[in-house]
């Protein structure tokens, strides 16, 4: 399913299968989970994608040696810059990203740098493993950025939040899920996934930290109103609408607003190690590959619960 121009539907095309270069794996794609970042790429909110482009960066497949592997968003880094050499490869200025500047997984075959692929836990099916590769990885990085917060607010409750809520609950945290006002379906979903409370974004709850999963800048201000002194607001998305101006008193008291950019391979290894002792479940909706546009539309409209997974 090719993106030929931003802001146009993906097109079903027959193209020559990619050939692996040095250090790359050729992967027969089994499934690819759909991420909100895919939507940002397709809708032209992220600049300068490779065109034409195969979208998708939560890939589960089998390589030519018969190993099941997962391919995440971070597809390549230079390895020599100050960021790479200091354990911050997620900030590499020359980084390349699966399904954005590299072809991704909305296809039968993909290639990926072997160094950036993960071996997946055997007790997770392909469908279960796919959302872990971005929703899980970047959500887990954002969760760790929130520190030791006991009362943790999630603004937006979708693919990432459903995974991180279970990890937080297992760690003894209280998760407060903020969704669109009146969205009872999303609030019930949050409770099923372990949230101690779920309500609308206009409601007030004292929080030690908050994670913004929805790409809406005004939620940063809402979260600041709820976070206690010394707390943090972590912006987990790669794209967000502009943050409105707000009075300094909301930030005062050593509150912190910070972003999470991409992920590192160390994040992936840490999450997979955590999942050796904790099994998370996800709610998923399956689509055949040729209905990728329908999956993106369901995500765009807000009607999707949990994660969409494309079957190849």
Give the pLDDT confidence of 217-272 residue by residue, as tens digits: 999 999 999 999 999 999 998 999 999 999 999 999 999 999 999 999 999 999 99
d(CA 71, CA 28): 12
d(CA 101, CA 141): 22
Show the domains of the chain with their CATH numbers. Answer: 2-131+263-311 (3.90.180.10), 137-259 (3.40.50.720)
Question: Each residue of 190-213: b (16+ CB within 10 Å) or e?
Answer: beebbbbbbbebeeeeebbbbbbb
The structure's pTM equals 0.94
d(CA 120, CA 151): 31
Residues whose CB is less than 8 angstroms from the CB of residue 7 and which lie 6 or more positions away in sequence, other chains included: 42, 43, 44
DSSP string over 153-210: EEES-SHHHHHHHHHHHHTTPEEEEEESTT-HHHHHHHHHTT-SEEEETTS---EEEE
- Are 3 and 14 contacting, i.e. CB atoms less than 8 angstroms apart? no
Residue among 12, 3, 33 nearest 159 (CA) = 33
Tell me what the mean pLDDT of segment 178-192 comes to: 95
- Are 42 and 296 contacting, i.e. CB atoms less than 8 angstroms apart? yes
State residue 98's pLDDT score. Answer: 98
Tell me what the mean pLDDT of segment 58-68 comes to: 97
State residue 205's pLDDT score. Answer: 97
d(CA 264, CA 73): 10
State residue 249's pLDDT score. Answer: 97
* Residues 18-45: tens digit of each pLDDT: 999 999 999 999 999 999 999 999 999 9
State residue 59's pLDDT score. Answer: 98
Residue among 276, 289, 288, 272 nearest 132 (CA) = 272
* Residues 84-109: tens digit of each pLDDT: 999 999 999 999 999 999 999 999 99
State residue 105's pLDDT score. Answer: 98
State residue 63's pLDDT score. Answer: 97
Residue 38 DSSP class:
H
d(CA 127, CA 84): 32
| 3-class state of residue 118 by DSSP | strand
CB atoms within 10 A of CB 66: 6
Composition of the chain by helix, strand, coil, percent to 5 = 30, 25, 45
Residues whose CB is less than 8 angstroms from the CB of residue 37 and which lie 6 or more positions away in sequence, other chains included: 46, 57, 73, 99, 100, 134, 237, 238, 239
- Give the residue carrying structure tokens 């800048």: 217
pLDDT category of residue 293 using cuts at 50, 70 and 90: very high
State residue 44's pLDDT score. Answer: 97
**Which residues share a beta bridge with 27?**
63, 110
Tell me what the mean pLDDT of segment 176-182 comes to: 96
Q: In the structure encoding, which two tokens stand for residue 2, read together?
A: 């090719």
State residue 268's pLDDT score. Answer: 95
Within its chain, how far is the Cα of 210 from the centroid? 16
State residue 93's pLDDT score. Answer: 97
Return mean pLDDT, the chain.
97
d(CA 209, CA 144): 11
């Amino acid at each position: 399913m090719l993106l030929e121009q931003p802001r146009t539907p993906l097109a079903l095309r027959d193209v020559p299968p990619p050939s692996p270069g040095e250090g790359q794996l050729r992967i027969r794609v089994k499934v690819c989970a759909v991420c909100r970042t895919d939507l940002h790429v397709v809708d032209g909110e992220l600049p300068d994608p490779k065109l034409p482009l195969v979208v998708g960066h939560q890939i589960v497949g089998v390589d030519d040696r018969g190993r099941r592997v997962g391919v995440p968003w971070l597809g390549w880094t230079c390895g020599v810059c100050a960021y790479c050499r200091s354990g911050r490869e997620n900030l590499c200025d020359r980084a390349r990203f699966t399904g954005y500047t590299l072809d991704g997984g909305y296809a039968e075959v993909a290639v990926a740098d072997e160094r950036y692929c993960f071996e997946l836990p055997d007790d997770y099916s392909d469908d279960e493993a796919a959302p872990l590769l971005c929703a899980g990885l970047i959500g887990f990085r954002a969760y760790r950025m929130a520190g030791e917060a006991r009362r943790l607010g999630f603004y937006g409750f979708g693919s990432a939040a459903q995974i991180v809520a279970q990890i937080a609950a297992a760690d003894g945290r209280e998760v407060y899920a903020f969704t669109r006002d009146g969205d009872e379906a999303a609030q019930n979903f949050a409770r099923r996934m372990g949230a101690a409370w779920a309500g609308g974004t206009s409601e007030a709850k004292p929080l030690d930290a908050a994670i913004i999963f929805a790409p809406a800048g005004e939620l940063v201000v809402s979260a600041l109103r709820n976070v206690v002194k010394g707390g943090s607001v972590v912006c987990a998305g790669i794209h967000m609408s502009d943050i409105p101006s707000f009075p300094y008193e909301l930030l005062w008291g050593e509150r912190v607003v910070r972003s999470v950019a991409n992920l590192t391979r160390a994040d992936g290894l840490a999450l997979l190690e955590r999942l050796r002792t904790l099994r998370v479940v996800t709610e998923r909706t399956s689509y055949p590959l040729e209905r990728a546009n329908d999956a993106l539309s369901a995500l765009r409209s807000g009607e999707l619960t949990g994660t969409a997974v494309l079957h190849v």
